[in-house]
Amino acid sequence: MTTDLHDLDALASLTDRVRRQAYRVVADGTGPIGRDEVADALGVGRTLAAFHLDKLVAAGLLEVSYARRSGKTGPGAGRPAKLYRLAAAEHAVSVPPRAYRTAAEVLAEAVEQAGAEETLYRVAQRHGRRTPAGADVTELLTAQGYEPVAGGPDRIELRNCPFHRLAEQFPPVICGMNLAMITGLLTGAGLDDVWAARMDAAPGRCCVTLSKK
């Protein structure tokens, strides 16, 4: 919540440029990936890629799973490959100590108890509308941390929820706020005549998707 030396260690492990790139490759992947793919993406040797990946695991930023990748099973299928994916844990460091998440939790609970969701949605939409016009839809959503990917020619899915922990604690309040904010962002950026945001919840990604009008 506030500054924790363990979090600082985790983030400090990203100061190495190659390691940071390795983290980026895993983060950008659609699922768990092996050291060979990371090595290819970075243009470094497999041993070096594995070294950095394992450092990231030790720092708690990545998690390991094992799977046979070729679809082969039984004897002769070989050893399962070691695969890397982002760890679920979140790390934040603030100097001096700040506890914005605690404040956000308290506010979300108050909104819920007061039944003030309509006001929250209105404020969130207005907040989104303040974004300057001009960016294309991918730039706009990337800048806000949503990690947009095409889910078809006329559809965009968002792989990251910028409010993830809070959304897990207060799903209707925070997901509703998020939908209103994205709707506002599209208006502010001048993209609302082309794209529409809607609530389209599914496991493992943001609850909002965009579709072409």
Where does this chain touch another protein (CB under 8 A) — which range of 51-59, 66-74, 145-153, 174-182?
174-182
Q: How far is the CB of 169 from another protein (least distance, A)?
A: 5
Cis, bond preceding 96 (omega within 30 deg of 0): yes
Where does this chain touch another protein (CB under 8 A) — which range of 28-36, 44-52, 184-192, 198-206?
198-206
By CB under 8 A, tell whether 76 contacts another protein: no
CB 21 within 8 A of CB 49: no
Q: Cβ closer to another protein: 36 or 118?
A: 118
* Helix axes 171-188 and 117-129, enclosed angle (nearest 10): 30
b vs e for 86-102, b when ≥16 Cβ sit within 10 Å of the residue's Cβ?
ebeeebebeeeeeeeee
Q: How far is the CB of 128 from another protein (least distance, A)?
A: 16
CB 62 within 8 A of CB 86: yes
Q: Cβ closer to another protein: 80 or 172?
A: 172
User: Which residues of this chain interact with another protein, rule CB under 8 A?
Assistant: 112-118, 168-169, 171-172, 175-176, 179, 199, 201-203, 207
